[in-house]
Amino acid sequence: MAEIYWDNVSKRFGSVTAVDHLTLTAHDQEFLVLLGPSGCGKTTTLRMAAGLEDATEGRISVGGRDATHLEPKDRDLAMVFQNYALYPHMTVFENLAFGLRLRKTPAADIQRLVHSAAAQLGLEPLLQRRPSALSGGQRQRVALGRALVRQPKAFLMDEPLSNLDATLRAQTRLQLKVLHRQLAATIVYVTHDQTEAMTLASRIVVMRDGVVQQVDTPEAIYDRPANQFVASFLGTPGMNLVPAQLTRTSGTLSAAIGTQRLELPADSARRLERAAGRSVVLGIRPEHLHVGAPEGQGTNPMSLRARVRLVEPMGHETMVHVDLDHDVQLTARSIHHWSASPGSLVSLSLDTRHLHAFDPETEVACEAR
């Protein structure tokens, strides 16, 4: 296996810049996931590595070898496409063997490699079937197997699970994770599905408009997003983002949200100290909000007052959508069954250890890290 390196790579289609000065390394044996919305440049980045698109500028290397101008067949990379790209008139065995025969691999080696890949992917009982007799999940495994038999330097996968239903997608995702561990393979994987990214990746590359927003482990990106886009893109639902004013009075840092004021404990205040006296966008994930019964006559400076807008029972959890004053809306996630009528008054407690602050102009995180 080998690493893939994009060195200050850009790709333009006429006046449109699809990828803008990308510098990125997919390390040897790493499962690197390119994540972002449609049109963010992730597939173009993958196709430039494969040689299916030429970089407008910059350099691409594979295994330490400059591959910028190499033909796709000379890069020793295996591509798995979204649409399977199987030959309908060939059996599963013939589909798996096709690339090996083009390379004039000896017949005995073809038999060994095909049966080895089929065993790893549970395809042995299907080797004599044609694609029309296979389910979507089985076709996807054949597409993976066709890449696997080549024993390439690295695998490039372009949204390979997007055509599967939810159950098959979860099953195949697990199979991919096990396969990566067994092969110790370098995999670069493109998806817009954050669940796939979070569960599969060694590292995630979040992209937007052709520009990398953040590169880190799934846990670090979820817990410490670099900007508002990353914060809102990761998570279902995304992070709550509300405008606020941070002020320090008599040694206490507090956040003014609409007409309400939230006092921050010392540990949270230290992280957000650099934003004191500024307008910010505060961010907190739904699981770090707790919706409780309305308060009594006293006012708790560590919580907010809210009105229930909608309750969504999900079985294993409940989503509670609430309104603060000035049209500020928040979503809380409860792991318990929770019910209330729309319009009910509730208190909203925040786990401020997980509170984030972003600059309202640059949208970049401004808390200490």
Per-residue pLDDT of 215-260, as tens digits, reads 999 999 999 999 999 999 998 889 999 999 999 887 789 999 988 9
Return the structure tokens found at 303: 């919580």
> Is residue 300 exposed (0-12), middle (13-18) or buried (19+ Cβ within 10 Å)?
middle
Report residue 335's pLDDT band, with 50, 70 and 90 as the boundaries: confident
Quote the pLDDT of residue 297.
41
The average confidence (pLDDT) of the chain is: 91
Alpha-carbon gap, residue 335 to 341, rounded angstroms: 18
pLDDT value for 296: 47
**Nearest-angstrom CA–CA distance, 5 and 77:** 13
**Confidence grade of residue 172 (pLDDT, cut at 50, 70, 90):** confident
**pLDDT level of residue 298 (50, 70, 90 thresholds):** very low
Fold of 4-233: Rossmann fold (3.40.50)
Q: 65 falls in which pLDDT band (50, 70, 90)? A: very high
Angle, CA of 106, 111 and 114, to the nearest 5°? 115
pLDDT at 61 exceeding the cut of 50: yes
234: amino acid identity, one letter: L
16-20, 38-42, 312-316: segment of lowest average pLDDT: 312-316
| pLDDT tens per residue, range 79-124 | 998 888 899 999 999 999 998 998 899 999 999 999 999 998 889 9
| Edge-to-edge strand list for the sheet holding 57-62 | 16-26, 4-13, 57-62, 65-66
Residue 299 pLDDT exceeds 60: no
Q: Are 211 and 18 in contact (CB under 8 A)?
A: no
What is the CA angle 123-124-130, rounded to 5? 65
Q: Which two tokens stand for residue 285?
A: 């994930």
Structure tokens at 339: 């019910």
pLDDT of residue 301: 61
Architecture per CATH, 240-358: Beta Barrel (2.40)
Q: Vertex 115, ends 126 and 152: CA angle to 5°?
A: 115
Whether the Cβ atoms of residue 20 and residue 172 lie closer than 8 Å to each other: no
**CATH 2.40.50.140 spans which residues of the chain?**
240-358
Count Cβ atoms below 10 Å from residue 128 Cβ, excluding itself. Answer: 10
Q: Is the pLDDT of residue 278 over 80?
A: yes
Of residues 1 and 320, more confidence is placed in: 320
In the chain, ranges of CATH 3.40.50.300 domains: 4-233
Q: Is the pLDDT of residue 294 over 90?
A: no
Peptide bond into 72 cis (omega under 30): no
